[in-house]
Structure 1
Amino acid sequence: MTTLLPFKIMPLLVPAVFLIILGMVWLPDHPELLDNAYMDTFKTSFIGILLEALPFVLLGALLSSLLRVFVPDEWISRWIPRRPVPAILFGCLLGIIFPVCECGMIPLVRRLMHKGMPLYVAVVFILSGPILNPVVYGATLTAFRSHPWLAYARMGLAFAVAAGIGLIIYATVRKSPLRLSIKRETAEPHQLRTRGGRLVSVLVHTSDEFFEMGKYLIIGCLLTSGIQTFMNHGSLAAIGEQPLGSYLFMIGLAFVLSLCSTSDAFVAATFLHTFPAGSLLAFMVLGPMLDFKNSLMLLSLFKTRFAMYLFFLIFSAVFIGSVLASLWL
């Protein structure tokens, strides 16, 4: 358990350090930001984003737990097509059947790879699973009620990026990039039939995943509410007007915030009237595929060289895809 502690703490340190530095450097020069009007706006914004996102986080955790307890991993490996293109399409569509958040994706994929899932299909599932599922689609549609086409564009871009990277991995990677230290995993104790039955297992899994994802959601809501409340709106508008600045800003924000895919759309929606639609797509597609906590988990699963190669492919594909998508939005 102690070896896993840094991987659980480090994703929380980056936003926390960011908040501390921001408070020490910026607030002393702007005492008016501590005025009651600013704090009321901050609290209203924070509570609004949090209350909208929490039901979807809870639903995602519940569905993930039901699938872990009741659906054997062998069922997936048995149905994977042998030809690459159908297998990649199958990997993209697995998220519809297995709506697992990115927080629980790496342990699931690690088990599947040891049970026979090919590398390129596993990568496709890691990238597309947290986005291409009914829970995330419903959350995105709710967050962008007045702009439903953004939900469709998010699903389409995520599908294209995951499928394209899967084809590249299939064509360029021949040796297994799994770390040699990874051994075949055994089932977790509460995945088995405990004395309380499978219902207790589902409840334990749901509570674990909900609180695991919840802390990232709260930090994300704090940072986003702070940016929206305290940062000069003229500065945000200036970033949004730059051709590439808005994309780089939103991609960096997605990486640092490390939000759950069931809640990031509500954060992105707060920038709807400030940033171009393409940059919001980049935020919602890159975040679930590659954020700070996810990169640590990927580095624990794959060798460093392959992980860096995968990071480069994700960043490049999302950046280019979102810029091209903005031409049609």
Structure 2
Amino acid sequence: MNTQTLFQMNTIFISIIIEALPFILIGVIVSGIIQIFVSDEMIAKIMPKNTILSVIVASLLGSIIPACECGIVPIARRLLLKGVSLPAAIAFMMTGPIINPIVLFSTYIAFGNSWTMVLYRGGIALIVSIIVGILLKLFIKQSPLKSELSSHTHYHSFKERIAAMLKHSIDEFFSVGKYLVLGSLIAAAVQTFIKTSTLVSIGNGPFSSHLVMMGLAYVLSLCSQADAFVAASFRSSFSTGSLVAFLVFGPMLDIKNTFMLLSTFKSKFVLILIVIITITVLLVTIVL
């Protein structure tokens, strides 16, 4: 490995970290607010009992929280501990980084002020989340969380609540931060040694093009606020369906996000989730 290659990898690594950190901070702060200020009873009143309705409601909640795929993992974990069903929490985690206003607006700008790709991206993400939610309801019967400790401390003042929220957010930040660093380092190494042109060259067929763009999204590990501009650069080489696959799959699964999932959920569940999301995104976007 020469100095230039090492420098390139280091640059990519730092850019991924800098891009993700603000949204990690938002995620752990929102997680802290949910932990301290939102009761189990409040969650129970908001979320419908019906699986499909709860998935739709949870998916749409993502539109008001500007978190990326890393920052949303701690929030999803906190929702599960507060009693939100697994399909709804995972749907929120999958669609939050896609249908929030910042991401949809960046998609609109990247594709020449066109609403077509915005509607495809948001609509397909919602369809995928519903399908994945139903499958998780059918196949996962036990809690997938590694740890289910959740304190129920009573606070006597607003000041105590704020202090507890900040402490929880700091603990959560250092808990997930090491996985962000590890995932970002691996993503940087993969981007450095596996050239994008190599992947693009094998993605000529209608089926392979979807797989290549999904693989590219996983490898690049872009923040969902910026990935639309990269996708737009492939418009002359790839079909609309494969571009949508890139825009939907990347925010749901990438290298750094996988490590953060492994820090929160049991390995077997993460493997099942990866398989279900991959197959669902592939089939839905091929139909498109």
Name the TM-score, length of structure 2 as normaliser: 0.73
Evaluate the alpha carbon distance shift between residue 307 and residue 62 of structure 1 in structure 2; reply closer, same or farther with a 3 A threshold: closer
Give 1:118-137 correspondences, 5 Å limit. Answer: 118-137=85-104
Matched, 1:82 2:45: no
Aligned residue among 252, 261, 267 for 1:304: 267
Provide the residue aligned with 1:170 in structure 2: 137
* Cα pair 2:103 2:224 within 8 Å, conserved: yes
1:152 Cα deviation from its structure 2 partner = 1.0
Match of 2:156 in 1: none
Distance 1:63 1:260, change over 3 A: same
Which residue of 68, 86, 111 maps to 1:144? 111
CA offsets, 1:45-65, max 9 Å, x none? x9xxx9xxx7x996x678758
Q: Distance in 2 between the 1:129 and 1:80 partners?
A: 16
Q: Give the distance between the partners of 1:170 and 1:149, measured in 2 at CA.
A: 32
Structure-2 change in CA distance of 1:144 and 1:77 (3 Å): farther
Distance 1:178 1:223 in 2: 31
Unaligned 5+ segments in structure 1 are 1-19, 25-45
Checking the alignment, whether the CA contact within 8 Å between 1:57 and 1:260 is kept in structure 2 is no
1:107 aligns with 74
Q: Distance in 2 between matches of 1:116 and 1:65?
A: 18
- Give yes or no for the alignment of 1:278 onto 2:237: no
The 3 A distance-change label for structure 1 pair 306 and 62 is: closer
Alignment of 1:145-224 (within 5 A): 145=112, 147-179=114-146, 181-184=147-150, 193=162
CA distance in 2, matches of 1:242, 1:185: 52
Give the ranges of 4+ consecutive aligned residues of structure 1 lying more than 4 Å apart after TM superposition. 60-71
CA distance in 1, matches of 2:110, 2:38: 33
| CA deviation profile, 1:63-112 (whole Å, cap 9, x unmatched) | 75875576634354541112222211111111023232111111111111
Matched, 1:263 2:226: yes
Q: CA deviation at 1:292?
A: 1.1
TM-score (ref. length: structure 1): 0.64
Amino acid corresponding to residue 129 of structure 1 in structure 2: G
Would the alpha carbon gap of residues 185 and 310 (structure 1) be closer, same or farther in structure 2, given more than 3 Å must change?
A: farther
Q: What residue is the counterpart of 2:8 in the other structure? A: none
Does the C-alpha gap of structure 1 residues 65 and 304 become closer, same or farther in structure 2, counting only changes over 3 Å?
A: closer
Q: Distance in 1 between matches of 2:121 and 2:191?
A: 23
Measured in 1, the distance between the counterparts of 2:274 and 2:131 equals: 14
Alignment-mate amino acid for residue 288 of structure 1 = P
Q: Is the 8 A contact 1:111 1:185 kept in 2?
A: no
Give me the whole-angstrom Cα distance separating, in 1, the residues matched to 2:208 and 2:202. 6
